[in-house]
Amino acid sequence: MSPAGDAAAALKELPDGRLFIGGEWRAGRGAEIDSHFSADGSLNRTLRGASAEDADEAIARAQAAQADPAWRDLLPHQRARHLYAIADGIERNADRIARIQSRDTGKTLTETRALAASAAGTFRYFGAVAETMDEALTARRGSALTMSVHEPLGVVAAITPWNSPIASDAQKLAPALAAGNAVILKPASWSPLTALELARITEAAGLPPGLLSVLPGSGREIGNLLVEHPDIAKVSFTGGTETGRALAVKAAEKLMPVSLELGGKSPAIVFADADVAQAISGVLFGIFSSTGQSCIAGSRLFVEGAIYNEFVERLVAATKALRIGHPFDPATQVAPLIHPDHRAAVAAHVARARDDGAEVLTGAAPPEGADFARGAYYRPTILAGLDNTAPLCREEVFGPVLAVLPFEDEAEVIAQANDNPYGLAAGIWTRDFPRAWRVGRALKAGTVWINTYKQFSISTPFGGDGASGIGREKGRQGLLAYTAQKGLYADLTGAPHPWAGPV
């Protein structure tokens, strides 16, 4: 099918714009939200977002659904069945949800199909974790049997960004539900449709009504209301560092736990002994896939001096050969950005870098031609001549912009890579494994890739240090982030407590 044909099919199957509030589908009572297809600027849907009353209602229903013995008293293997049914539903609808997500975000269908598959895997994994997670008998120090158990928190708010909605939504919903909570999901205003489709799938999979509500709406209003609401027991947030920091301050006032998956400015480090073809392909994928709109984008490239000129020359040539195109064209490697406003923000970062003395090796402008005229496209961009302390090397651009910097030795590159507020991810290319190990252990990063980039396993914890956040998602421990740990002591003697004397 042609890209235009796929796009037309996707338009027809978009969610109808009603919200999922406390188990019911109805129009929101809040402000209008326009969702656009960033490949051509066409309107996907106008929907009414959630109002404060909608949010209050969703939270009250979530509390009731969470406390209902029909959910609260499920045994872990019974709760797991709900997660498996949702995973099956996502898989059955994978093509449809991929097309919706591509219209919602402008991402390539190739990528949104992979994200849908990974979301299904996330639900299946946390179902399996729920039914295999042990509770512990702990070492006794007296006559009582001592145990450590985990309880659900209650109603959890999940606040997610626009760049990979189905994946970030699943990463929060699956462990939160597996642990026995109810969830209020607030998707980003630029991509409200994918989460609504996910809600339809959970409903069809038989998740009891009220356990999930999906409330598109302004972050400053609805997101903030969720954070401040006395009946929200935890906020799990993925998004920008400034938003996360402000949210954490409010959470502290409430003494409410938060998980924060925030931004990044990740270093990619290429040593002179690296396999150059492997390194170039990894660096390209690390920064330019998803058009750079990835928290883990490897946006600062350090290349060892001995190979710097040759490496950068080949990298630039390979970058120029990347296929920029329509999200529905299977040949496309670089699709449009999410929104024209975001393209303007990316361009502003590049303009300031040029003022700071950056040399443009390629890109730094939208592509030319009729195919790109109405879309939010931006060419993959490589900048040289900046210092690691320049704003472009310190601030997250969240677009297809790479800064290249030379280095001379291992200690220097570790110091430069770590000289940044963020600590989300890093990549190292070398044939010297002991060196990769040393450098990998020394880098300030939640994830380090060696001779590869952007590989993921749901079994491996993910998260950031410093300005990149607090907490870890994924992995068996990821479920525990949605629980309250409890110590339980049960008397084994059957005797009255001696302290009280005869009673």
Residues that bind ligand NAP (CB under 6 A): 159-163, 168, 186, 188-189, 218-220, 223-224, 227, 238-240, 243, 246-247, 261-264, 295, 396, 398, 424, 464, 469
Shorter beta-carbon distance to ligand NAP: residue 189 or 362: 189
Q: What is the bridge-based pairing of β-strands 469-470 and 258-261?
A: antiparallel
In whole angstroms, how close is the CB of 143 to ligand NAP at the nearest point? 47
Tokens of 163: 């760049």
Shorter beta-carbon distance to ligand NAP: residue 299 or 362: 299
Instruction: Report the alpha-carbon distance of residue 298 to residue 133 in Å, rounded.
Output: 35
Residue of 265, 295, 454, 474 with catalytic role: 295
In whole angstroms, how close is the CB of 190 to ligand NAP at the nearest point? 6
| 84 closest CA partner among 115, 22, 130, 21 | 130
Rg (CA), the chain: 24
Shorter beta-carbon distance to ligand NAP: residue 293 or 430: 293
| 346 closest CA partner among 386, 402, 400, 266 | 400
* Bridge partners, residue 149, by sequence: 486
In whole angstroms, how close is the CB of 219 to ligand NAP at the nearest point? 2
Shorter beta-carbon distance to ligand NAP: residue 23 or 263: 263
What kind and span of H or E run contains 425?
Answer: strand 425-429
Is the Cβ–Cβ distance between 288 and 455 less than 8 Å? no
Is the Cβ–Cβ distance between 58 and 23 less than 8 Å? no
Shorter beta-carbon distance to ligand NAP: residue 89 or 219: 219
295 noted as active-site residue: yes
In whole angstroms, how close is the CB of 129 to ligand NAP at the nearest point? 19
Number of DSSP helices (H) and strands (E) in the chain, helices first:
17, 22
Shorter beta-carbon distance to ligand NAP: residue 31 or 147: 31
172 noted as active-site residue: yes
Shorter beta-carbon distance to ligand NAP: residue 233 or 361: 233
Residue of 304, 395, 396, 473 with catalytic role: 473
Residue of 172, 234, 265, 454 with catalytic role: 172
Helical ranges in 29-188 per DSSP H: 52-67, 69-72, 76-92, 94-105, 109-132, 165-178
Instruction: Report the alpha-carbon distance of residue 30 to residue 53 in Å, rounded.
Output: 9
Q: What are phi and psi of 385, to 5 degrees?
A: 85, 5
- Compute CA distances 123 → 15, 81, 198, 428, 488, whole Å: 22, 10, 12, 31, 30
Instruction: Report the alpha-carbon distance of residue 210 to residue 64 in Å, rounded.
Output: 8
Residue of 261, 304, 395, 396 with catalytic role: 261
In whole angstroms, how close is the CB of 250 to ligand NAP at the nearest point? 8
In whole angstroms, how close is the CB of 299 to ligand NAP at the nearest point? 10
CA angle 199, 203, 209 (to 5 degrees): 100
In whole angstroms, how close is the CB of 374 to ligand NAP at the nearest point? 22
Instruction: Report the alpha-carbon distance of residue 38 to residue 107 in Å, rounded.
Output: 9
473 noted as active-site residue: yes
Give me the active site residues, please. Answer: 172, 261, 295, 473
